[in-house]
Structure 1
Amino acid sequence: MQPYRNPDGHSGVAAYELGPDWIRVRFASGRDYLYSAASAGAGHVRNMQILAQAGEGLATYISKFVHDDYDRGP
């Protein structure tokens, strides 16, 4: 996983991992959540990938748009 840059130091996101149509987010609590095109929508996944790489705004985006739309397993 890549450490989340978090320049202001107040994010709930600690790290992330990107795939072609998914993003795995590790929160400061230590819990990981996988958001995929199937669960959250391809547009949201793309937006989250962009925010993750920028190191800003990911936690806010998740709480506003995809909070509970993570994969829950097979």
Structure 2
Amino acid sequence: MKSYTSKSGKDSGVTGYETGRDYIIVAFGDNHYIYSYGSAGKLVVEKMKSLALASAGLSSFIARHNPGYEKKY
């Protein structure tokens, strides 16, 4: 899992992420959420991946759009 630090300098709820071909796992502290093409849609997952890689706006995007997640652990 890669660490996530927002480039904006604001405190982000996201602490880490991991990407795969058709999913992204987002960590909020000890809680991990798997967002997949099947649960959130391809466009949403790809947008989340790009935000994660840019370290910009991932937490805000999730809060604003509330994408469906496949699993929480």
TM-score by length of 1: 0.87
Aligned counterpart, 1:72? 71
Give ranges in structure 1 of 5+ residues lacking alignment. Answer: none
**1:33 lines up with 2:36 in the alignment:** no
Identity of aligned residues (%): 38
Task: Report the CA distance between 1:63 and its aligned residue.
Answer: 1.0
Residue deviations 1:21-61 (CA, integer Å, cap 9, x gap): 1000001x320000000000000000000000000100010
Q: Could you tell me how far apart the structure 2 residues matched to 1:43 and 1:10 are?
A: 26
Runs of 4 or more above 4 Å deviation:
none
* Gapped regions of structure 2 (runs ≥ 5): none
Q: TM-score of the superposition, structure 2-length normalised? A: 0.89
Equivalent residues, number: 71
